[in-house]
Amino acid sequence: MKAFVVAAETPKDESMFSEYRKGVRATLEAFGGKFIVRGGGNLKLFEGEWPHTRLVIIEFPSRAAAEGWYRSPEYQKIIGLRHSSTVSNLVIVDGQVD
């Protein structure tokens, strides 16, 4: 079953966050990850509360692949850039695309 990383982010340091964004794509390839949604600026809230300005959804072939990516040395090298430059939430969820 596929797994998805869903990240809701509000950048607080655009320059540092830009460095993170430049590096993240290369960390996905070994785990079969691909961006489904990557962006902000055009979010429109219809229900509830949504405090973040960006939404990212990354598809992986499995939960093991998603968790492997998150824990990989390559991603761990840049994760500090995200932590330091944004306020964010990140979850991994199982699912499928029909």
Per residue of the chain (98 residues), give pLDDT as tens: 999 999 999 999 999 999 999 999 999 999 999 999 998 768 889 999 999 999 999 999 999 999 999 999 999 999 999 999 999 999 999 997 77
> Per-domain residue ranges for the chain?
7-40+81-89
Taking the mean position of all CA atoms in its chain, how far away is CA 93?
A: 12
Q: What pLDDT, in 10s, does the model give residues 7-34? A: 999 999 999 999 999 999 999 999 999 9
* 3 state DSSP class of 51: coil
Q: How much is the pTM? A: 0.92
For residue 92 the two structure tokens come to 């991994």
- Between CA 69 and CA 20 the distance in angstroms is 15
